[in-house]
Chain A
């Protein structure tokens, strides 16, 4: 049973380009979460999605960032017109429907570097 798969592992973009980060949850998981980790910082929640629905996007920057989790295919985190401050590790996690004993499993992350 494959774990949470993220790709690419490393992504380099020039300022102003678009970055698309993909996350395939564990088999059977319908809940996906995206977190961002800036250098020397802790993980910050960005967005929580179920299939075809955004449940909580309270951690998403108001502009340039969007996320989706279509009925078919991986979840996508999209960053338009990237800036240097977007350079970070972006982690995706997935889980079964949340409950007290529900563990969230993380992917290996995508390291975005904006040059």
Chain B
């Protein structure tokens, strides 16, 4: 299994739709996980951190399943501005955000 693997995408959805991305990881010792957002030709920015079973922030919900080693990101009521690439990220050391292993990303395109 690759270190961090994501849905290949792209996801093309209409405004208002609910969309979910999955991500699997290989290091069973990983304790914390992150979703970053990267806009075209821009730097990644932290969207959400996941330390326990899940995290919710407005329209965004991240869930963690340690037994199956996957993390999901759910976006409700999609907005045009949600169009971006979403990167699943797993630290290489414990809880450090420093040495991060990035998935290849899933591209989301929200259409009017």
User: Which residues on A are within 8 Å of B, measured CB to CB?
Assistant: 31, 33, 35, 41-45, 48, 56, 89, 91, 93, 95, 98-104, 106-109, 111
Contact of B44 among A41, A43, A98 (CB under 8 A): A43
| B96 contacts A99, C-beta separation under 8 Å | yes
Main secondary structure of the interface of B (DSSP, over half): loop
Q: Which 3 A/B pairs are nearest by Cβ-Cβ distance?
A: A100-B95, A98-B96, A42-B104
Q: Min CB distance, B104 to chain A, in Å? A: 4
Number of interchain pairs (Cβ within 8 Å): 66
Q: How large is the interface on B (under 10, 10 to 19, 20 to 34, 35 or more residues)?
A: 20 to 34
The reply to whether B87 and A42 form a contact with Cβ atoms under 8 Å apart is: yes
A-B contact sample (4 more), CB < 8 A, given A48-B99, A98-B96, A108-B42: A33-B100, A45-B100, A45-B101, A104-B46
Q: Which of B44, B92, B97 contacts A95 (CB 8 A)?
A: B97
Among A45, A95, A100, A109, max chain B CB count under 10 A is at A100
Contact with A along B40-77 (1 / 0, CB 8 A): 01111110010100000000000000000000000000
**B43 adjacent to A42 (CB under 8 Å):** no
Q: What is the CB-to-nearest-CB distance from B33 to chain A, in angstroms, rounded to a whole number?
A: 11
Contact: A102 with B44, CB < 8 Å?
Answer: no
